[in-house]
Amino acid sequence: MDTILLNTTNEDLKVAAKIIREGGLVAFPTETVYGLGANALDASAVSKVYQAKGRPSDNPMIVHIARASDIGQLTSRLSKTIVSLIDCFWPGPLTLVVEKKAGIPDVTTGGLSTVAIRMPDHPVALELISLSGCPIAAPSANLSGDPSPTKASHVIEDLTGKVDAIIKGDDCRVGIESTVLDVTGEIPMILRPGIITDIQIEAAIGGKVKLDPALFINQPRDEDSSGCADGFHPKAPGMKYKHYAPKAQMIVLEGQRNKVKKEIERLQKLNESIGNTVGVMLFEEKAFIEAAQNFFAQLRELDKQGVDLILAGALSDADGVGFAVMNRMLKSAGYHIVKV
Ligand code: TXA
Ligand code: MG
């Protein structure tokens, strides 16, 4: 298939919206990562997204809307908690998992009775959704298993020839995907950590928030849909798959910062002495927002350089944004952690 490259002009966005309306696939920028969009209410369009990404079909999509009030098309149950969250965080990187309304195709929600919804904080994404006149289902615009795309060039590398159009916008400001929060239960539960943290959510709703216990199991998961070796089943189906894997082998070093730096130097020298090329990923201490912004781009850059081994320093944050970055880093490394 020919993939057309579009700019963010109003004219080009009209072309993109027409493609979406006619059941095609368009990759577009959001504030978190690039998304690969299709009409969320068109089952055959959504099926094509799974094909283009090579994504398992039990892994549901996030449905993107351009006005908070459009949530009413997708769910009929709006609690006080949901309304407070929308007021505080939309548009923005918070996805809400709610009971779905009849009429949303099963392929969009991976056969679940719930639907994940977010209103992105990005003018191009919002304009595209508005012009399309339908909610847009969009997973991250990478090949399944690869690092998420935070630059237009990442999307072009992964999806050229597989989608109808790619909108070339700016680099993504947040850099990691949205926080996914299940608000169907009595106490909201974070299924995927992101830049909006449990503490911020608790302040917004004036109540408690839980974290999915599966987020704390630091070991590789089975890749098939039967779930995890240890019997823990993450509630967001996507959290159980192999993810964000660079081509190189990757090791995360955890411990006191100076010791980590020294151990990285030692391992780098040792590996280089036997002919391996080594890439190092070490963010400034406590610069969690910058780490989130740059994490996926650095992984892709090191892969491009063709390094054999990536040595990464763990971020020291038990919750918050550092925790969200660590969730991705540990998956990238296949939970290969060395304590120093
Ligand atoms: O920031 C983001 O969220 C980006 C941009 C494009 O908006 N999108 C994104 O989509 O990261 P994706 O498909 O890569 O991740 C969606 C996550 C997956 O882990 C999926 O399993 C989970 O959300 N999810 C979607 N619908 C769900 C539902 N009904 N119940 C539980 N988890 C759900
Ligand atoms: Mg993804």
CATH, residue 278: 3.40.50.11030
**Cβ atoms 176, 290 nearer than 8 A:** no
Q: Is residue 227 part of a domain?
A: yes
Check whether residue 153 and residue 294 sit in a common domain: no
Range of the domain at 52: 4-231
Residue 144 CA: which ligand is closest?
2
Phi, psi (5° rounding) for residue 147? -60, 145
Residue 296 CA: which ligand is closest?
2
Q: Is residue 107 part of a domain?
A: yes
Domain C-terminal end among 198, 231, 264: 231
pLDDT band at 258 (very low <50, low <70, confident <90, very high): very high
Structure tokens at 101: 């309304």
Compute, in angstroms, the gap from residue 22 CA to the centroid of ligand 2.
24
pLDDT band at 225 (very low <50, low <70, confident <90, very high): very low
**Average pLDDT taken over every residue of the chain:** 93
pLDDT band at 126 (very low <50, low <70, confident <90, very high): very high
Check whether residue 185 and residue 305 sit in a common domain: no
Alpha helices in 286-319 (DSSP H): 288-305
Q: Is 138 in the pocket of ligand 1 (CB under 6 A)?
A: yes
Domain C-terminal end among 196, 231, 266: 231
Check whether residue 275 and residue 222 sit in a common domain: no
So what's the pLDDT on residue 226? 41
Q: Is residue 285 part of a domain?
A: yes
Q: Is residue 19 part of a domain?
A: yes
Check whether residue 158 and residue 11 sit in a common domain: yes
Check whether residue 185 and residue 277 sit in a common domain: no
Q: Is 97 in the pocket of ligand 1 (CB under 6 A)?
A: yes
**Cβ atoms 26, 162 nearer than 8 A:** no
Question: Does pLDDT of 337 surpass 60?
Answer: yes
Compute, in angstroms, the gap from residue 241 CA to the centroid of ligand 1.
12
**Cβ atoms 213, 207 nearer than 8 A:** no
Q: Is residue 84 part of a domain?
A: yes
Q: Is residue 256 part of a domain?
A: yes
Which residue minimizes the CA distance to atom 10 of ligand 1?
139
Q: Is 109 in the pocket of ligand 1 (CB under 6 A)?
A: yes
Question: Does pLDDT of 241 surpass 70?
Answer: no
Q: Is 48 in the pocket of ligand 1 (CB under 6 A)?
A: no
Each residue's pLDDT tens digit, 184-213: 999 999 999 999 999 999 999 999 999 999
Query: From the CB of residue 274, how many other CB atoms can be counted at a distance below 10 Å?
Result: 6
The mean per-residue pLDDT over the stretch 247-258 comes to 94
Q: Which atom of ligand 1 is nearest to the CA of 35?
A: 6
Compute, in angstroms, the gap from residue 261 CA to the centroid of ligand 1.
34
Tell which residue, 50, 7, 8, has the closest CA to residue 25.
50
Q: Is residue 331 part of a domain?
A: yes
Tell which residue, 185, 214, 187, has the closest CA to residue 114.
185
Compute, in angstroms, the gap from residue 68 CA to the centroid of ligand 2.
23
Q: Is residue 238 part of a domain?
A: no
The mean per-residue pLDDT over the stretch 41-53 comes to 97
Which residue minimizes the CA distance to atom 12 of ligand 1?
139
Check whether residue 180 and residue 48 sit in a common domain: yes
Mutation probe of ligand 1 site: the residue of 121, 158, 159, 180 with most atoms within 8 A of C-beta: 180
Domain C-terminal end among 231, 258, 280: 231
Which residue minimizes the CA distance to atom 3 of ligand 1?
178
Check whether residue 136 and residue 200 sit in a common domain: yes
Q: What CATH number does the domain containing 24 carry? A: 3.90.870.10
Cβ within 8 Å of residue 52, ≥6 positions away = 25, 36, 159, 162, 163
Check whether residue 180 and residue 271 sit in a common domain: no
So what's the pLDDT on residue 224? 41
Check whether residue 296 and residue 205 sit in a common domain: no
The mean per-residue pLDDT over the stretch 223-242 comes to 61
Check whether residue 221 and residue 255 sit in a common domain: no
Which residue minimizes the CA distance to atom 13 of ligand 1?
139
Percent of the chain whose predicted confidence (pLDDT) is above 90? 86
Q: Is 180 in the pocket of ligand 1 (CB under 6 A)?
A: yes
Residue 129 CA: which ligand is closest?
1
Residue 142 CA: which ligand is closest?
2
Q: Is 280 in the pocket of ligand 1 (CB under 6 A)?
A: no
Q: How much is the pTM? A: 0.95
Check whether residue 253 and residue 191 sit in a common domain: no
pLDDT band at 161 (very low <50, low <70, confident <90, very high): very high
Give how many domains the chain has, as a whole number: 2
Check whether residue 149 and residue 253 sit in a common domain: no
